[in-house]
Structure 1
Amino acid sequence: MKTKLSLVSAAILSASLTLVPAVSQAALPQVFEGQTMPSLAPMLEQTTPAVVSVAVSGTHVSKQRVPDVFRYFFGPNAPREQVQEQPFRGLGSGVIIDADKGYIVTNNHVIDGADEIKIGLHDGREVEAKLIGTDSESDIALLQIEAKNLTAIKAADSDKLRVGDFAVAIGNPFGLGQTVTSGIVSALGRSGLGIEMLENFIQTDAAINSGNSGGALVNLRGELIGINTAIVAPGGGNVGIGFAIPANMVHALVQQIIEHGEVRRGVLGISGRDLDNQLAQGFGLDTQHGGFVNEVLADSAAEKAGIKAGDIIVSVNGRKIKSFQELRAKVATLGAGAKVELGIIRDGDEKTVEVTLGEASQTTAAAGEVHPQLSGAKLENADKGVEITELEQGSPAALSGLQKGDLIVGVNRSPIKDLKQLRERLKEQDGAAALKILRGRTQLYLVLR
């Protein structure tokens, strides 16, 4: 049977549901032999007000070339392209993490491309949200609302989770309204699924369906342990395999977005692979968990800390890791400049090293992360500026006049040499910004508003 991985935002306008009559609550005993029946209700009464619904709407713009035969009939002034706008709506979930400032965490794929974001609170209020920042590689977005009497959720230390711990998922599946399901932590450190660029998922069998994206996965104390993100869905529905982004990872990313307006990834400067059984036997090791270092880049954070090719990294800040992918996700999440203690095995001996992470030199970016009017383009550092390497037809970037192969060399009168400078120059502009473009031998300006 073919397995299908699915993000669980409800970009859903309707759903066909089979309703099964429920057992009457009155038929269930509340007291048995003088003892009160166990219940999650007290915990949920404190926790569910922190989980919200996220309703988004926007417009997909597409542009199609008008066939020459039609242009022949309508004359030389006939349009070369036809622009079509297709409205869309979607539903997902979110979690209030700061009641005073109105911060809400959800998935990036829930709000991606939205022109309007509305939050449905547990008490029935509906308020408009502002997008503070996103990270597409980890699928996290931070929103903010202005409202009083909010309830925030407390975060747990997700590094202390164990397989078998109870887990409760709270969200808004299929637009039905807030729904609670329960299960256990089925696995930790799941990666290599191809869902996101950075993967270090909690796996759970708590039922997760479309619309649960961005909702909360909590422990029995009502503390946030993860943000629900994806499911394995061979038939399009829940089969008991869901994935959540760990709370510690979410916290680190959100703090960077709040402080810098973006995520500044940390980097070790190594290449490597998972430690498998064959490698472990070759090195005479008992463990089969960790990241094997193939190469250490010159002048990198790893080289400065004394890490060498052949080392096996087995822990980050005292917490064991299972794979090289988990190591990569943790390091990138901690951010540039963070001090990290790595546990390594070298020549059979265990030791710890402290590393100050470097900053990942961003060489490519989705242009929508740099400026909304550049959405639909892919940017890449070039020798003398930033090149448009990909461009979607009908996208805001295409409608702005950009073309594939254009080289951005300046913003207004300030030259730029890379993505970092382009981002900084655009952030400095309160109003319109003019991009200086080199197109072949032609120089021109395009105005972004």
Structure 2
Amino acid sequence: MPSPSVLPTRRRELLKLIGAVPLAAGVLPALPARANPLAPTPAEAPAPAATAPGIVKPLPPETFTIRGTNAETRFEAFRDTGALTSVDRFFVRNHTSTPRLDENDWRLTVWGSALGGRRPVDFSYGQLRSLPSVTRTAVVECAGNGRSFFATQQGETVSGTPWTLGAIGAARWRGVRLRDVLHRAGVSSAAVDVMPRGLDDEFISGGVNLGRVRRPLPIAKALDDVILAYEMNGEPLPYDHGFPVRVIVPSWIGIASIKWLGDIEVSDTPLESPWNTQFYRLFGADHPPAGSQPLTRQTLKSAFELPLGAALEVDRPHRLTGRAWSAAAPVRAVEISTDGGAHWRRAQLHDTPRRHGWVRWSLPWHPRRTGPVELLARTTDRAGNRQPERTPHNTQGYLFDAVVRHPVTVVASANAHRAARSEPPYKGHMS
């Protein structure tokens, strides 16, 4: 099996990583709702600079939550940004650490039993960039996005990184069609599966070396809308997001979009890896004993650009904002409840809903009384899918799509506190 040779260097000056103790990404126990992990750090105790083992780019604590080898974007960090996610706010999902590769030494090797000539075919970085290019705007979302809500909202135990809703980002990806590369390599009509493999370090789980991250794609999907991307938002891919080349599989779970692509196996028989047998299937009482079929398409969600547990002043207008997305079809509507689900109002959409993307939305809110409130956002797409009240449990916490109960507290305004010191209490009716 070919093994491309890639040297760990690059022309740009590299950032030095500061060591950090990773957050365990083990079992999430069933717990009652607890203090918000995204709540802002008090001004009197500023948070230290965030670091994560193996991630190259800066991770300011106001933008990211470190989760082991991963970095989750705080959803409020998207507020007042455009429809695309800039590199400095794009989440990072790493199994091991980010490799720093040199495009001059990089090669993509296409090999396997379903090549007509049966001999491996190599593509250099320059050769790949010389092929006809396409640009696709698409979100990349981890299959476990929202996983923590199985425990905190549904009271169920799951394993894996405890993401809230920030394991997602939208970018404009430029690259070449995978089908063009496969045809140039001589793929035959007997092809069944293709399996891209990354160049990051081999992944060890439970003391077992599972090799480099890789996951099969059916040939029909590979020849459809998959691209091999070398640019992100008009710039070469950053290290943490797959430089020099990564796979982008629109609307599928994030693991399909392999980073740091090194080789692609093309097979005339079905392929397997731990990432479609041991992981990224649904296991548990609600699923077949042997697990579901390997996961493919993501689901639908919506989220507030507001910290969980945020404090909002009473008797003043607020503009609630957020984002909504669906992997099945463009978003049709977003509904918001400011009373825990008793009543719903339709939010205004600020983007043209499109396949593979998300939309920004907003709704004015003028709270009239103080106290805790649960805000809810619910997405419906053009295929008729709507977020449910509950997601069926699976032991690894994938594809959470239920409406998230977003707690906030309505507090008295500073002006009201000042007035209370000089005026008698109001004894009229509170609306």
Normalization by structure 2: what TM-score? 0.26
Could you say which structure has the larger radius of gyration? 1
Q: Going by fraction, where is helix more abundant, 1 or 2?
A: 1
Q: TM-score, normalised by structure 1?
A: 0.26
Greater relative contact order structure (CA < 8 Å, 6+ sep): 2
